[in-house]
Amino acid sequence: MLRVALFGCGRIGRVHAAAVAAHPRAELAWVCDPMEAAAKELAGQYGAEAGSDVAAVLADESVDAVIVASPTPTHVELLTAAVRAGKAVMCEKPIDLDLIRVDACWNEIGELSPTVMVGFNRRFDPSFREIRDRVSAGEIGRLEQLVITSRDPAPAPKAYIETSGGLFRDMTIHDFDMARFLLGASGSGEVVEVQAMGANLIEPYIAEAGDIDSAVVVLRSADGALAQITNSRRCVFGYDQRVEAFGATGMLTAQNQLPTSVRYAGADRSEAAAPYQNFFLERYSAAYALELDHFVTAVEAGTAPSPSFADGRAALVLADAAAESLRTGSTVRVAG
């Protein structure tokens, strides 16, 4: 059994705790959070130890791996400490909001050949994974255009927006990783150009925080393929998550997920269905379980997990490029 320590017991921490508890080859050993009462409550659900002392948790030699699900500003410190303690690490995205801090982190831990995985869970969504596999198999020929749609059901609260790092680093970063993941299935997945447009159409407090709530980003890969990402902080009909891969000989699409396949037809409407799944906890539940299984298997086998630290850095580079494009109104070349 892989004994796992969880840092952070907020919403995403609870998702990871449940995934570990459900995995047949993993065990939740510790829950660590500055809010010790919350840590004890979550740990109690799964028979784990609880505490707020990071050093004490990392000193436990029975702990094999760590999941960092704490607030973003703590990621680098916890990731670095865990690697230095000899633990494998799965770190939620982003590694940090500042590329300089990300590079400094790798300069400190890279020489230790660490096992580090970044939590871009959408790579493990069965539908998105199937698209990548079929593109890789050549089913649609050369990939020429990729369309990624990602819209949240409702804007995050004002306090969250003010510390999120902006839409590109907080939300679009998942889509930047997905673009690299899918573009890489047919030729080079490395993006060489980024052009972004943004708008404030939804909530005044988002604009007041210096952020945008709507965006369209166009990417060009090294082999010429084009990708378009469409984001919105609001979608009244649910969590809108779609992918379209268009190639020389065909097209593959992944549509939104519905609770059931039931449709209604009547005098006033046809093909009416239930709203899309509400948010990421429901839509990506399978992806979180498969993500953890990949991490557990990699640690057991001593292989490098994917997405890697380098993948986390690459997505942040694209987020920074999009922010620069939005600021300047120009296409930004990406050097890496």
Task: Name beta bridge partners: 90.
Answer: 67, 117
In this prediction, residue 212 carries a pLDDT of 98
Collapse the DSSP code of 267 into the 3-class scheme (helix H, G, I; strand E, B; otherwise coil) and give the result.
coil
In this prediction, residue 273 carries a pLDDT of 63
In this prediction, residue 315 carries a pLDDT of 97
Mean pLDDT along residues 278-285: 68
Percent of the chain with pLDDT over 90: 87
Contacts of 198 (CB under 8 A, 6+ apart): 167, 212, 214, 215, 216, 326
In this prediction, residue 277 carries a pLDDT of 64
In this prediction, residue 256 carries a pLDDT of 81
Mean pLDDT along residues 58-80: 97
Compute the distance between CA of residue 291 and CA of residue 268 in angstroms, rounded to an integer: 43
Compute the distance between CA of residue 170 and CA of residue 93 in angstroms, rounded to an integer: 8
In this prediction, residue 294 carries a pLDDT of 97
Collapse the DSSP code of 249 into the 3-class scheme (helix H, G, I; strand E, B; otherwise coil) and give the result.
coil
Question: In whole numbers, what is the pLDDT of the chain averaged over residues?
Answer: 94
Q: Is the model more confident about 271 or about 235?
A: 235
CB 136 within 8 A of CB 109: no
Mean pLDDT along residues 200-212: 97
How many Cα neighbours within 13 Å face the side chain of 6?
A: 31
Tens-place pLDDT, residues 16-27:
999 999 999 999
- Give the confidence band of 187 by pLDDT, cuts at 50, 70, 90: confident
In this prediction, residue 272 carries a pLDDT of 66
- Give the confidence band of 261 by pLDDT, cuts at 50, 70, 90: low
Tens-place pLDDT, residues 153-162:
999 999 999 9
pLDDT at 37 over 90: yes
Compute the distance between CA of residue 117 and CA of residue 291 in angstroms, rounded to an integer: 10
Mean pLDDT along residues 203-219: 98
What the block records as the tokens of 183 is 């573009």
- Give the confidence band of 113 by pLDDT, cuts at 50, 70, 90: very high
pLDDT at 262 over 70: yes
Give the DSSP letter of residue 261: -
Collapse the DSSP code of 91 into the 3-class scheme (helix H, G, I; strand E, B; otherwise coil) and give the result.
strand
CB 175 within 8 A of CB 148: yes
Q: Is the model more confident about 261 or about 323?
A: 323
- Give the confidence band of 263 by pLDDT, cuts at 50, 70, 90: confident
Give the DSSP letter of residue 122: G
Give the other-Cβ count within 10 Å of 285's Cβ.
17
> In degrees rounded to 5, what are phi and psi of residue 153?
-70, -30
CB 62 within 8 A of CB 46: no
CB 161 within 8 A of CB 155: yes
Q: Is the model more confident about 275 or about 128?
A: 128
∠ CA 66-160-286, nearest 5°, is: 50
Q: What is the 3-state secondary structure (H, E, C) of 183-226?
A: HCCCCCCCEEEEEEEEECCCCHHHHHCCCCCEEEEEEEECCCCE
Which amino acid is it at 202?
Answer: I
pLDDT at 336 over 60: no
DSSP assignment of 275-297 equals PPP-SHHHHTHHHHHHHHHHHHH
CB 240 within 8 A of CB 276: yes
